[in-house]
Amino acid sequence: MELDEVTISRAILASQMETMLDLLEMDVAVVGGGPSGITCAVYCAEMGLKVGLFEKKLSIGGGMWGGGMMFPRIVVQEEAKEVLDRFGIAAAAFEPGYYVARSVESVSKLTAAACTAGAEFFNLITVEDVVVRADGRVSGLVVNWSPVEMAGLHIDPLMVRCRAVVDATGHDATIAHMVARKGGDLPIRGEGFMWAERAEGNILDHTKEVFPGLYVCGMAANAVAGECRMGPIFGGMLLSGRRAAEMVAAALGH
Ligand code: 48F
């Protein structure tokens, strides 16, 4: 076959523009493509919600790609093993209740499942603000290309509308901080010390709607609640992402 360079360009532009126009209005906007965000996206999509995930970096995966100190392995405890099994992620038993999975396989299979279920991933896009109108709810995101932010260019963003936002931005709890900074009633207590048992045990209690229309999951949930961190054990991230999806789906009547 004879290749035409302009056809290649047209294919990319047409496909992505169609997707971006379609996703200007969605049910759930997940911010952050780490383990909790991807897990939230896959469950939301499987429940029939129209979901878009925004990740500011080039790659999806957040803190899961790097495993523990660049050893590309993650530990998952008994309670969350079912999530690994659900997505066909191989896990080797270590000591009773502790399983070890490959971080690259874990990210890849969760991401692939989310794509198959219909979630759209927007990498290289940074969420820089939220939309809150007279009803006092978070009802949209303000987004811009990450390279624009990195270069410090003064270029105005674009906006998307959604029925719920999930802050899955990890330790920084970026979206929650944005809301708090602008006067939203959202107290942020900040992350506590390393204490895996406590951090993992409490994370589901902290996974919730923290401001009308805004849910927190993963490490962002613990950071908002003043809860401890846990390091490279990832069961809490997976279960928190799933819990956030269930809460959003229930709130949106799915
Ligand atoms: O940090 P991250 O992996 O969050 P998580 O899902 O998982 C935490 C674990 O990786 C680990 C841990 C538990 O085992 O302690 O740290 O809670 O992923 C957060 C993602 O959000 C992106 C960021 O690049 C990262 O990939 N992110 C942060 N701020 C923004 C953003 C933003 N403003 N717009 C878009 N993406």
If you measure from the C-alpha of residue 220 to the centroid of ligand 1, how many angstroms do you get, rounded to a whole number?
8
Ligand 1, atom 33: nearest CA belongs to which residue? 127
Residue 218 Cβ < 6 Å to ligand 1: yes
What number is the average pLDDT over the span 26-47?
98
If you measure from the C-alpha of residue 217 to the centroid of ligand 1, how many angstroms do you get, rounded to a whole number?
10
What is the reported pLDDT for 59?
97
What is the reported pLDDT for 104?
97
Instruction: Give the closest residue to 30 by CA, choosing from 217, 210, 252.
Output: 217
Give me 239's structure tokens: 């279960």
Q: What percent of the chain has pLDDT over 70?
A: 100
Helix (H, G, I), strand (E, B) or coil at 77: strand
What atom of ligand 1 comes closest to residue 175's alpha carbon?
Answer: 33
Ligand 1, atom 21: nearest CA belongs to which residue? 32
What is the reported pLDDT for 196?
98
What number is the average pLDDT over the span 114-125?
98
Could you give the C-alpha distances from 129 to 17, 42, 253, in angstroms and in order? 22, 24, 26
User: To 10 degrees, the CA torsion angle through 13, 18, 19, 24?
Assistant: 120
What number is the average pLDDT over the span 55-78?
97
Residue 44 near residue 30, CB atoms below 8 Å: yes
Domain ranges of the chain: 25-251
Own/partner pairs, 148-153, CB within 8 angstroms, 24+ separation: 149/56
Q: How confident is the model at residue 235 (pLDDT cuts 50, 70, 90)?
A: very high
φ, ψ dihedrals at 4, nearest 5°: -120, 120
Ligand 1, atom 19: nearest CA belongs to which residue? 169
What number is the average pLDDT over the span 94-121?
98
Q: How confident is the model at residue 189 (pLDDT cuts 50, 70, 90)?
A: very high
ipTM of this complex: 0.99
Residue 127 Cβ < 6 Å to ligand 1: yes
If you measure from the C-alpha of residue 8 to the centroid of ligand 1, how many angstroms do you get, rounded to a whole number?
33
Residue 206 Cβ < 6 Å to ligand 1: no
What is the reported pLDDT for 116?
98
Helix (H, G, I), strand (E, B) or coil at 131: strand
Residue 229 Cβ < 6 Å to ligand 1: yes
Q: How confident is the model at residue 33 (pLDDT cuts 50, 70, 90)?
A: very high
> 53-66: per-residue pLDDT in tens?
999 999 999 999 99
Residue 47 near residue 245, CB atoms below 8 Å: yes
What is the reported pLDDT for 23?
98
Task: Report the chain's mean pLDDT, rounded to a whole number.
Answer: 98
Pocket mutation for ligand 1, best pick of 146, 219, 222, 238 (most atoms within 8 Å of C-beta): 219
CATH class of 25-251: alpha beta
Q: How confident is the model at residue 137 (pLDDT cuts 50, 70, 90)?
A: very high
